[in-house]
């Protein structure tokens, strides 16, 4: 810093400056800055994919014996067995992404008050609505999209690895391509991520509210009061509506999104493994979905209110 | 039109009254120093002006209601609330990218030119910068925004003397012109005395003194009195008396300078001395203050 005025703004210089302000994109930049701050949003799914691929490679190395056994099975059972690792990969990445989303929602509004950076964000011409929309877009749009792309890529790499291993063992690699219908799997990945995200929207909104409200211990505030409600209800009225509601919200999306799921959605026995059959009509007509989205919208409005008014921690 | 205009501005937190109905008017091109003890209501007043807290009473900043129109107002108002608010995880380039992306009046070239004169590396994260450098970065961002009002709340807190001096030098030489308005609160009053155009003392939510610096210089005089003339000087009703290096300094409000200079050495007092004098007589004397 020196005292020369070479970058100063003389009134003359400002007079020639364009009168119309530059175009800005507050929403896009707000999303981008969330990704800068919470780098785990893309690092964690990538890491999960790395572990999956590591495990798959290890598995392929000792595959010869098992594959001989499998090749004696009828073709449809072979196909089912081949699908299992792909389903595990999708589940691992999806679960990682969900955990990241939960951690993000609990942290974001709390951290900016804790480190006082909220004063910087609020010194910019970005409304609380835009900011909260950007924050909500992470668990609702950005993270599921990242999970989807990472899952698809991982499954593709798995298929290539599998085909490579087949070739190395002198088998016809066309078999690997034939038994794993990649496009169907990708569609399935998309459907399951989309339904899960919509189903969890009220959970994410609740976590944002707690994050914006709590001074500290956001995780405890988010989890213990609902739990306490369940316990009190059980003891006082010997009913378990609250507990059922919690369970339904945590696991209900699989039940609502697929046909005839039964107690073990992915098949009771590995030999019977199949892709569950998607039932979008059932999902989108489930009252639980729309009630959940309405609750999410209300909680989202509350989170905006809190960000406007809540003081620093 | 006044840049900032408040009438009956009031804010309480529970039973604590932080602002007790203040009236305020700041014209364009002024540099107002808002001076007060801790907890006097300075930051609350600034937060109300910046649309960070709801309030009672009437407040207009650049003709807008700050609470309901904060995001529009922030196109024309900048603030540095204290040194610690830049996000610590952010890289210097990210800060530039972000502000450029969201602020329609940000001139990136100007910020880059300012940063080029510092030792700040573009790839550094805020957490890797010294406190002084963080303030330089924040100032670079703010000075590159063509805003009408700049609000500084303890901007130089915790900085060493060199950075503090550079901060105000840059502000005056590279930023301020007579179409802008600056409101600053600080405890380091001696450093802002020469840059202010207006002065306001605030205590327990009320304005206890309000004057332009020209009026300040005309109104107040400090007399370092010759010991022999002490009784005569005291008879002229000083508002404050202090001992300095074995001599007595008396502070006068609206006294005849010719009369005073016969009794000793007369000069314009520091804002700090006037602050102690005024706060001392505001019936809540801090320890050590002598009410005359």
Kindly provide the ipTM of the predicted complex, given to two decimals: 0.85
What is the percent of chain A where pLDDT is above 90? Answer: 45
- Residues from chain B that touch A309, judged by Cβ atoms under 8 A, are 53-54
The tens place of each residue's pLDDT in chain B, 292 residues long, gives: 788 999 999 988 888 888 888 898 999 989 999 998 888 888 888 889 998 888 999 999 999 999 999 888 998 999 887 755 899 999 999 999 999 999 999 999 999 998 998 899 999 999 999 888 888 899 889 889 988 999 988 888 878 888 888 888 888 887 788 788 999 988 888 888 888 999 999 888 888 888 898 888 888 888 888 878 888 888 888 888 888 777 888 888 888 888 888 888 888 888 888 888 888 766 544 444 333 3
User: CA-to-CA distance for A91 and A85, rounded, in angstroms?
Assistant: 10
Look at B87 and A117 and tell me if their CB atoms are within 8 Å: yes
Is there a domain that residue A75 lies in? yes
In a mutational test of the B interface, the residue from A114, A123, A304, A307 whose CB has the highest number of chain B CBs within 10 Å is: A123
**Among candidates B50, B74, B114 on the partner chain, residue whose Cβ is nearest the Cβ of A125:** B74
- Domain count of the fold of chain A: 1
- Residues from chain A that touch B53, judged by Cβ atoms under 8 A, are 309, 311
Is there a domain that residue A200 lies in? yes
Query: Which two tokens mark A65?
Result: 């014996």
**Among candidates A7, A22, A127 on the partner chain, residue whose Cβ is nearest the Cβ of B174:** A7
**Among candidates B88, B118, B146 on the partner chain, residue whose Cβ is nearest the Cβ of A9:** B146
- Residues from chain B that touch A7, judged by Cβ atoms under 8 A, are 110, 113-114, 174
Q: How far is B266 from chain A (nearest CA, A)?
A: 32
Q: What pLDDT was estimated at residue A133?
A: 95
Q: Model pTM?
A: 0.84
Is there a domain that residue A225 lies in? yes
Is there a domain that residue A31 lies in? no
Is there a domain that residue A107 lies in? yes
A63: closest CA among A199, A158, A184?
A158
- Ordered strands of the B16-26 beta sheet: B16-26, B4-13, B56-61
Is there a domain that residue A218 lies in? yes
A148: closest CA among A199, A99, A190, A88?
A190
Is there a domain that residue A132 lies in? yes
A283: closest CA among A262, A245, A261, A254?
A254
Structural domain boundaries, residue A110: 39-309
Buried b (16+ CB within 10 A) or exposed e, A149-184: ebbbebbebbbebbbebbeeeeeebebbeebbeeee
Q: How far is A125 from chain B (nearest CA, A)?
A: 4
Is there a domain that residue A171 lies in? yes
Burial (CB count within 10 angstroms: exposed 0-12, middle 13-18, buried 19+), residue B62: buried
Look at B114 and A29 and tell me if their CB atoms are within 8 Å: no
């Amino acid at each position: 810093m020196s005292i020369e005025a070479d970058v100063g703004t003389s009134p003359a210089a400002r007079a020639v400056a364009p009168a119309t302000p530059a175009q800005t994109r507050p929403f896009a930049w707000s999303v981008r800055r969330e990704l800068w701050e919470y780098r785990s949003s893309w690092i964690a799914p990538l890491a999960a994919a790395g572990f999956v691929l590591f495990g798959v490679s290890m598995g392929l190395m000792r595959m010869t014996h098992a594959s001989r056994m499998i090749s004696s099975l009828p073709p449809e059972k072979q196909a089912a067995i081949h699908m299992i690792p792909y389903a595990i990969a999708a589940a691992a990445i999806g679960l990682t992404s969900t955990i990241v989303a939960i951690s993000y929602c609990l942290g974001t509004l709390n951290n900016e008050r804790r480190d006082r950076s909220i004063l910087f964000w609020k010194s910019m011409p970005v409304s609380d609505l835009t900011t909260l929309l950007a924050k909500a877009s992470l668990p609702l749009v950005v993270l599921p999209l990242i999970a989807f792309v990472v899952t698809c890529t991982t499954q593709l790499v798995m298929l290539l690895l599998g085909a490579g291993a087949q070739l190395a063992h002198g088998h016809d690699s066309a078999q690997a391509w034939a038994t794993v219908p990649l496009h169907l799997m990708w569609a399935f990945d998309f459907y399951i991520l989309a339904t899960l995200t919509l189903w969890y929207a009220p959970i994410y909104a609740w976590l944002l509210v707690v994050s914006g409200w709590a001074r500290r211990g956001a995780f405890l505030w988010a989890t213990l009061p609902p739990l306490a409600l369940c316990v009190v209800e059980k003891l006082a009225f010997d009913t378990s509506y609250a507990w059922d509601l919690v369970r339904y919200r945590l696991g209900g999306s699989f039940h609502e999104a697929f046909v005839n799921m039964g107690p073990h959605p992915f098949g009771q026995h590995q030999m019977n493994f199949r892709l569950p059959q998607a039932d979008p009509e059932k999902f989108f007509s489930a009252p639980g979905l729309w009630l959940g989205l309405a609750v999410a919208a209300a909680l989202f409005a509350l989170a905006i209110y809190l960000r406007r008014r809540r003081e620093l921690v | 039109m006044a840049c900032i205009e408040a009438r009956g501005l009031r804010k309480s937190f529970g039973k604590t009254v932080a602002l007790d109905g203040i009236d305020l008017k700041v014209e364009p091109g002024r540099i107002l120093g808002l001076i007060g003890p801790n907890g006097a209501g300075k930051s609350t007043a600034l937060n109300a002006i910046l649309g960070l807290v709801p309030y009672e009473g009437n407040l207009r900043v650049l003709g807008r209601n700050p609470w309901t129109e904060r995001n529009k107002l922030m196109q024309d108002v900048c603030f540095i609330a204290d040194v610690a608010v830049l996000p610590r995880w952010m890289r210097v380039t990210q800060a530039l990218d972000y502000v450029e992306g969201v602020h329609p009046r940000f001139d990136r070239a100007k910020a880059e030119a300012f940063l080029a004169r510092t030792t700040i590396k573009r790839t550094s994260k805020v957490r890797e910068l010294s406190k002084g450098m963080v303030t330089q970065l924040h100032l670079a961002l703010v000075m590159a925004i063509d805003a009408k009002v700049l609000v500084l709340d303890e901007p130089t807190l915790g900085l060493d003397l060199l950075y503090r001096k550079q901060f105000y030098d840059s502000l005056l030489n590279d930023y301020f012109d007579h179409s802008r308005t600056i409101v600053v609160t600080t405890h380091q009053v001696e450093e802002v005395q020469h840059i202010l155009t207006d002065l306001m003392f605030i205590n327990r939510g009320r304005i206890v003194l309000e004057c332009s610096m020209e009026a300040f210089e005309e109104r107040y005089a400090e007399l370092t009195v010759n010991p022999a003339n002490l009784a005569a000087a005291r008879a002229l009703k000083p508002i404050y008396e202090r001992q300095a290096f074995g001599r007595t300094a008396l502070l006068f409000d609206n006294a005849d300078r010719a009369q005073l200079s016969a009794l000793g050495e007369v000069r314009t007092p520091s804002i700090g001395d006037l602050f102690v004098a005024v706060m001392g007589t505001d019936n809540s004397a801090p320890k050590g203050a002598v009410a005359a």
